[in-house]
Amino acid sequence: MSPLMTEPPEDNLDHYALGFYAPDKGLRREDCPYASGTEPHAQWTAGYDAAAKEGREEA
How far, in Å, CA of 39 to CA of 59, rounded? 27
How far, in Å, CA of 22 to CA of 57, rounded? 9
Residue 58 has pLDDT above 60, yes or no: no
Where are the chain's structural domains? 15-53
Residue 21 has pLDDT above 80, yes or no: yes
pLDDT band at 55 (very low <50, low <70, confident <90, very high): confident
Residue 9 has pLDDT above 60, yes or no: no
pLDDT band at 13 (very low <50, low <70, confident <90, very high): confident
With H, G, I as helix, E, B as strand and everything else as coil, classify residue 17. Answer: helix
How far, in Å, CA of 39 to CA of 9, rounded? 14
